[in-house]
Amino acid sequence: MIPHGVDVQRFHPGIQTDFRKLHGIPADAVVVISVGTICYWHKRMDYVIREVAAVPDAWLVIVGQESPDSAAIKALGNDLMGDRIVFATLPHDELPKAYAAADVFTLGSLFETFGIVYIEAMAMGLPVICSNHPNQKAIVKEGIFIDMEHPGNLAAALNGRDQSNSTICQRTVCAWWQRTTT
């Protein structure tokens, strides 16, 4: 089997972006990004919103296509996060600029058959927090794997309190969190 790949000429660390400025995100803000359809079912963007809302001062960028659930999910985001949430629909060639504005990537899916967005985020140099499903472990390899079914798990990982992933956490999100909050 040959897995999917991404164009590393387009997706790579160091891309210059004005995404934060265009969307009113402070330059020193901690930004979590999630890329996928804005829906309850599969991508579970409502879960991501609730979890990131529980992380003080964190901003959330959700980039994805609209679904019948989008209006309700956007309302939830605005209610819980106020101006700390940005929803965007971008053409694929503009995605690197959104990733470059972020500090960490997550996706609320319980499983993905593959999940090209994980590969894009890793190519951009972002730490990845994802489901502990075997598919995601095989794709991401060195990320933070959590049980996305339980409320509080993503927030704990983002806050650097996920003890089940302590070694990986120290190399990725914990190091990132210390760097961005000091």
CATH of the domain at 36: 3.40.50.2000
Return the pLDDT at 169. Answer: 47
Return the pLDDT at 113. Answer: 85
pTM of the model: 0.88
Q: Is residue 108 in a domain?
A: yes
Write the pLDDT tens digit of every residue in 88-143. 999 999 999 999 999 999 999 998 888 899 999 999 999 999 999 999 999 898 89
Q: Is residue 43 in a domain?
A: yes
Say if residues 78 and 114 touch (Cβ distance below 8 Å).
no
CA separation for the pair 173, 106 (Å, rounded): 11
Q: How many domains does the chain have?
A: 1
Q: Is residue 111 in a domain?
A: yes
Return the pLDDT at 46. Answer: 98
Domain carrying residue 146: 30-181
Element (H, E) at 88: strand 85-88
Least confident of 30-34, 54-58, 131-135, 156-160: 156-160
Q: Which residue has the tokens 């730490």?
A: 127
